[in-house]
Structure formats: C-alpha cells, structure tokens
Amino acid sequence: MKIQEFEDQRIPLVELFQSISGEGISAGNVVTFIRVAGCDLRCSWCDTKYAFSEEESDVQMLTPDEIMDRIEELGSTELICTGGEPLEAGKVKRYLPAYLAGKGYTVHIETSGACPLYTPQELKDFRVDRDDLSYCMDVKCPGSGMQDRNRLDSILELCADDELKFVVRDRHDMEYALQVIHRYRDHLSEEDLALNFSPVFESLKPVEIAEFLKEHAAYFEENDLWPRLSLQLHKYIWPPHMRGV
C-alpha cells in the first residue's frame, strides 16, 4: 500500500491516550498510546480482550489525519502503537505505525510475534528508514496457549533499540524463554537486544523471575546477554484493570 492510498483509509481505533509507559526500556516515560482493534490470537492471560475485534461498539473508524490531530492535541512525540495487533497482515491498520514514523514521531511498535515485521519495501513505500521505528516483539510461551503461532525467525530481523518480551506465568514458561534465547543467542548478543521477562499479573510473583534470572546469571553474562525483569508499572500505579492508563 502506498501513502496516498493509505491516507484515504480508516483505521479501527480502540483508544488513544497519554500515560506513563508501563514496561520495557521505555518504562516511566510519558508517551502516547495508540491502541488499534483486532487480534487473531487468544492468549490465555490477555488483559486487552476489549481490543480483540474491530466490531466492538466503542471502536472508532478514523482517518490517519484524524488520528494525527488527536496525537498533536496530547503533545507527546513518543508513541507506542499497540493493540490488538498493530501489524496484522492484510489490514490497513498495519501501516499506521510506518505512516506516523514518516511524519517524524518516535514510534515503538508492540507486536505479538505472530505477524511479519515490516519488509524493506513497505518501509520504502512509507519513506521510513529502519531506525525510524522500533519493535517490542513478544515470544509466546506455552502458558499463553499460542506458542504454535510464534514466528521465531523474526528475531533475526530485530536490531539495536528493539526488544524481545517473554510474558511468563510459571517456571515452564521461563525455561521455554531460556531455550529461545539460547537458540538465537548470537544475534541477541550482537544487537545488544533488551530481553524482557514479564510476569502474568497476579499469576507469577516477580520474585520468582528475579530468582530465575539470578540462577542463570553466569550463562547470560558469558554470552553477553542482558535479560531484565519488566513489571507492568501502570498496574501498580492505577487499578490493574483500568483502561486509558
């Protein structure tokens, strides 16, 4: 899709708000969240089920310019595009992050890892360089029920400033994450990628991840890998199920 065609389309928007980034390397920063509707995964622990479908009553169909007007009203130039799934193939919404990056915003894309990342041609079509945006890509662990949907070789497309995230609910999930890290350790080390271990809220105590990372600290250090415990700060600042924060 070309820019001119995209500008005439409408994007299914669930919510757009300014808040504190809750997790990952941007945690604590004031950012603008853009949450699009639609996801074909059904992770067992998903906390944004209200963004599953484009048919929900509170989904707004907005043009790219209308979305930009709302972003400009909030005043933040650092954006997190999330969902739902912002990179769902075959959907117009897929190109919103690239479009916004082309407009000069700092764009961070949160993706499930089940969808392809942008191709060089897609970036070229939207006049975006690869370093104009960054990814936080999930690896779905067994506890999610979506392990079979992983596109693990997309890890090889990640580069400096990107992140890999493992949402874990038990020891088995953490061991699976370690296996994936070991498989791609050379690339992860070379690109100095952030490796985020995030507990399923109220299912796994953060101390259990901390102990696991300590247990394997020698392995991580020997391989120049730097995993980190990533908590969802917004769930500690505001009520855990509050939207728009």
Long-range contacts of 66-70 (CB under 8 A, 24+ apart): 67/11, 67/13, 67/16, 67/34, 67/96, 67/100, 68/100, 68/103, 70/16
One digit per residue, the tens of pLDDT, for the chain of length 245 reads 889 999 999 999 999 999 999 898 898 899 999 999 999 999 999 999 999 999 887 899 999 999 999 999 999 899 999 999 999 999 999 999 999 999 999 999 999 999 999 999 999 999 999 999 999 999 999 999 999 999 999 999 999 999 999 999 999 999 999 999 999 999 999 999 999 999 999 899 999 999 999 999 999 999 999 999 999 988 888 888 888 87
Burial profile 24-58: b = 16 or more Cβ within 10 angstroms, e = fewer: bbbbeeebbbbbbbbbebebebbebebbbebeeee
What's this model's pTM, rounded to 2 decimal places?
Answer: 0.95
CA distances from 227 to 13, 18, 107 (A): 33, 28, 23
CATH of 3-237, one of 3.20.20.70, 3.30.9.10, 3.50.50.60, 3.40.50.720: 3.20.20.70
Residue ranges per structural domain of the chain: 3-237
> Which tokens is 204 given?
């796994």
> Which tokens is 130 given?
């690869």
Q: Distance between CA atoms of 102 and 91, rounded to whole angstroms?
A: 19
Looking at residue 153, what is its pLDDT? 97
Looking at residue 89, what is its pLDDT? 95
Tell me which residue of 101, 143, 108 sits closest to 126, measured CA to CA.
101
> Which tokens is 159 given?
């580069």
